[in-house]
Structure 1
Amino acid sequence: MSDRSNSAVDRDIAYHLHPYTNARKNESEGSLIIDRGDGVYVIDSQGKRYLEAMAGLWCAGLGFSEERLVKAASDQMARLPYYHSFAQKTAGPAVDLAEKLVGMTPPQLTKVFFANSGSEANDSAVKMVWYYNNAIGRPQKKKIISRVKGYHGVTIAAASLTAMPYVQAGFDLPIANIIHTGAPHHYRFAQEGESEDAFTDRLARELEDLILQEGPDTVAAFIGEPLQGAGGVVVPPDGYWAKIQAVLKKYDVLLIADEVICGFGRTGRMFGSETFGLEPDIMTCAKQLSSAYVPISAVLISDPVYQAIADNSAKLGSFGHGYTYGAHPVAAAVALETLKIYEERRIVDHVQAVAPRLQDGLRRFQDNPIVGEIRGIGLIAAAELVADKAGKTPFDPAGKVGAFFAARAQDHGVIFRNLGDTIAICPPMIITEAEIDRLLEGFAAALADTEAWVAEQGLAAVA
């Protein structure tokens, strides 16, 4: 709980409506006020240090004090603090960044559209799919398939794609033309005795059945994260994406790869699409594109999609979509410097080198009686907490135990994020093995506290 004597806390309560927050709870307890950053650590307004084991929101890949990014922003602010990309105008950093992204992403992606967040990027991708199909004379081919546990943002279309009740409840969502298929989470959704191979076969059949039920001439695109992030760090079984893509190609359904969390080294390759073998027609990215130092996102599209959009823009007089701050020169300059640092410091190699320390360290907790599953790859992982390990029974009510764990970890000086009763781990990619050990110490302490509390409360099955 925050120190209520701190005027910043009181002013925050008085004036600030927080995202993803119980507003009444915030009124009574107040928020943690973060004052500054130092590498993988953040320091609150009272001077307490926390190892930020979520890189903020899966995003501060270079940590919280990279001076080169500060200088890149400052230099660009002094040269050209703002310009737009409307009406055949743009700024130099946007040109350089577009060229850089096309050169480092899958070869079929040839053009870049800039936005400001992952939500905007995914919303833009939906609009582009609709625009594309109108352009090529398929006005009925408009439905977008996303997956249970998928997270794609909170704008109206993106929130409709995000198949989680807490994003849609109270907002009259989802909108029309958004449909959902199953999540590739074997632990949670496999039938009794079903192997991973049989499970992925079934998911592919269910996808094909859904397309046939809706009508292949109405299904335009499938959107998926290479691994599902905010849905609980769901790592797909081997072969899943190959089977899904075969179905999509059979029915001429575009693949949108949401790389907002996976992109730029998080999974141990530059993109999650490389890690899991995706060949997207459209790719969205954000977060670690600028190490989150300034808002920026991008939509990369294949040449067939671009050519149709270009033809339709000529026919209609304009591609009538864009954002005031899209391709902002300061954001583009910071993103360019971020990508340069990733290359110079061989960040992908570093992730590969230290990831076993995290993944193996977390798996030491697999036998704990309230840990159902430890899962992850690269520098992203999760621990799912359960009431009954043998039966995989969730806690009731959902989220109470996870919130207790996160609060105890914070008291121990490590910030995790609970996704219901799943504890997410996604530290800055610059983290060292010694810092991973500190992260694991905080995890162990919070888990011990939580196990004892669960027993006191009678929330778990008796072993």
Structure 2
Amino acid sequence: MSNVKLKNSTTELRDLDALHHLHPFTDHKSLRSGGARVIVKGDGPYVWDSEGHRILDGMAGLWTTNVGYGRSELADAARDQMLELPFYNTFFRTTHPPVVALSQKLAGITPAHINQVFYGSSGSESNDTAIRLIRHYWTLKGEPKRRIIISRKNAYHGSTIAAGSMGGMGHVHKHSYPVYEGFRHIMDPCWFDEGQDGESLEAFGLRAARALEDEILAVGPENVAAFAGEPVQGAGGVKIAPPSYWKEIQRIVDTYGILLLADEVITGFGRLGTWFASDYYGIKPNIITFAKAVTSGYLPLSGILVDDRIVAALMDHDDDFNHGYTFSGHPVACAVALKNIEIMERENLVARVADYGAPALAKLLARFEDHPLVGEVRSVGMMGAIELVADKRTRRRFDNPGRVGLICRDHFFREGFIMRAVFDTMVCAPPLIWGDGEFAEAERVIGRALDLTLADVAGEIAA
């Protein structure tokens, strides 16, 4: 079946998919009735489906393909490493050149206080690892009661039971049977959803951050291990905190001596115009989790970046940290990650986001602020969101959250542009290689998709 894409028609591929493939985060009954879109090719900022349609990828795969598709250098790096050493584990006091080289490279582009890496294969694995290491750290420090990790509503930290429990998404919790104990969730720092009339962004950011201090005091500082947060809440709807927020969060974690976990599975590797969003916001996390764009999605690889404080505690005790994965530090994935970072450095993609991509995306989205369907547009770096509302004046959303978002998403797909719907928030995170042509094409499609959606729901829009 290795050449199935050549032998089978689109209909046959969809039928086979329905017979044998369970998709992630999917209503399987609905999928079976409509069939999956079959993607067969990618090149630069575009993908093609099995019916020959070229589609501008506004989501970088899944917040992932920062250097775009079809990079032969990444394929060559994988092939060369497969012929040299396709696999060996990093258990049993064993290492290999690619994992050593990548670890050194990562230590060089992370904040100065972070110098160690532990590897996995997905963002969920990374956050599971972080949960275990955080609690292990406090046990080593003689404070085993510090087990509570505080996160935020609408946070996404993965879909394993532990990482899903740390996240703040109710539809993920619903399938955990039950949600693991030891996690608390505070308000998210999105003014559009949580801000009060007349409240400044600065005041709102401080109020949202101080919800952390309130929760710490409510459960007892002696019981709190860490605060976990995405610098920008991606899968929750590109929720961007006001400038006052992260500075106050840092003050609070420092005041109570708890650890700070920055989940950079989405924001790492250039998306905000810095290698890591922790640098963009000026915070000093003890752990950074990463995945996705470290290889631009060409192979699965993830990890946690660990600061000197936690490493010192590990070094002070002569015992095992009993945790790991078969594919921790996989040599082929590490070789591809090294080449991916090399490409990003050679093409100055991180600086390009700061100097060109971020302003261009902000300008693009601002063109639609006055559209009758749009309640707000927002962006930071190469991440953006468009809020779809029934009433612009009051920010009132549509009935049955997600219904209008899916209508709009389908119009985007039909018009040749991938934009994701998070309930009724349309989000994008383009490859970092977008240029003037892609931004112009996106502007045309966004306008068309919003107009088509407005025509579908015109009777529900407030006058």
Which one of 384, 399, 402 corresponds to residue 405 of structure 2?
A: 402
> 2:133 is matched by which residue type in structure 1?
M
Which one of 327, 330, 337 corresponds to residue 328 of structure 1?
A: 330
SS in 1 for 2:289: strand
**Separation in 1, partners of 2:342, 2:371:** 42
**Separation in 2, partners of 1:125, 1:425:** 27
Structural mapping, 1:376-455, within 5 Å = 376-455=379-458
**Separation in 2, partners of 1:43, 1:448:** 25
- Residue correspondences, number: 455
Going from structure 1 to structure 2, the CA distance change for 1:241 and 1:337 (only over 3 Å counts) comes to same
> 1:107 is matched by which residue type in structure 2?
A
SS in 1 for 2:460: coil
Answer yes or no: is 1:224 the counterpart of 2:226.
no
Shift of 1:351: 1.4
Given the two structures, how large is their TM-score scaled by the length of structure 2? 0.96
**Separation in 2, partners of 1:202, 1:239:** 10
Answer yes or no: is 1:372 the counterpart of 2:375.
yes
Going from structure 1 to structure 2, the CA distance change for 1:33 and 1:5 (only over 3 Å counts) comes to closer
Given the two structures, how large is their TM-score scaled by the length of structure 1? 0.96
> Structure 1, residues 145-203: CA drift from partner, whole Å, max 9, x if none?
10112111111111012211121113224210000111111121012221122212222
> Structure 1, residues 326-383: CA drift from partner, whole Å, max 9, x if none?
1000000000000111100000122121332221111110011110110111111010
Which one of 349, 352, 359 corresponds to residue 350 of structure 1?
A: 352
> Structure 1, residues 257-315: CA drift from partner, whole Å, max 9, x if none?
11111111101122111111111011111111000100001101111201222334x23
Structural mapping, 1:109-148, within 5 Å = 109-148=114-153
Going from structure 1 to structure 2, the CA distance change for 1:173 and 1:431 (only over 3 Å counts) comes to farther
**Separation in 2, partners of 1:69, 1:249:** 41
Q: Please say which of residues 8-17 and 192-201 is displaced more in the overlay.
A: 192-201
Structural mapping, 1:60-459, within 5 Å = 60-312=65-317, 314-315=318-319, 318-352=320-354, 353-455=356-458, 458-459=459-460
**Separation in 1, partners of 2:68, 2:311:** 35
Q: Please say which of residues 109-118 and 345-354 is displaced more in the overlay.
A: 345-354
> Structure 1, residues 214-246: CA drift from partner, whole Å, max 9, x if none?
010000000111111111111110121011111
SS in 1 for 2:104: helix
Contact 2:232 2:241 in 1 (8 A): yes
**Separation in 2, partners of 1:244, 1:197:** 13
> 2:258 is matched by which residue type in structure 1?
V
> 2:215 is matched by which residue type in structure 1?
L
- How well do the aligned residues superpose, as a CA RMSD in angstroms? 1.3
Q: Please say which of residues 321-330 and 298-307 is displaced more in the overlay.
A: 298-307
Partner of residue 5, structure 2: none
> 1:156 is matched by which residue type in structure 2?
I
**Separation in 1, partners of 2:42, 2:64:** 14
> 1:323 is matched by which residue type in structure 2?
Y
**Separation in 1, partners of 2:295, 2:381:** 19
Contact 1:4 1:10 in 2 (8 A): no
Contact 1:226 1:278 in 2 (8 A): no
SS in 2 for 1:137: coil
Contact 2:386 2:425 in 1 (8 A): yes
SS in 1 for 2:412: helix
> 1:362 is matched by which residue type in structure 2?
L
> Structure 1, residues 85-107: CA drift from partner, whole Å, max 9, x if none?
11110211000000110111001
Contact 1:371 1:383 in 2 (8 A): yes
SS in 1 for 2:316: helix
SS in 2 for 1:81: coil
Contact 2:120 2:328 in 1 (8 A): yes
Q: Which consecutive segments of 4 or more residues in structure 1 shift more than 3 A?
A: none
SS in 1 for 2:168: coil
Q: Percent identical across equivalent pairs?
A: 43
Contact 2:272 2:358 in 1 (8 A): no
> 2:75 is matched by which residue type in structure 1?
V
Shift of 1:4: 8.9
Contact 1:42 1:50 in 2 (8 A): yes
Shift of 1:5: 6.0
**Separation in 2, partners of 1:27, 1:311:** 55
Q: Please say which of residues 193-202 and 93-102 is displaced more in the overlay.
A: 193-202
> 1:258 is matched by which residue type in structure 2?
D
**Separation in 2, partners of 1:51, 1:201:** 38
**Separation in 1, partners of 2:258, 2:410:** 43
**Separation in 1, partners of 2:10, 2:73:** 36
**Separation in 1, partners of 2:374, 2:387:** 6
> 1:48 is matched by which residue type in structure 2?
H
| Gapped regions of structure 1 (runs ≥ 5) | none
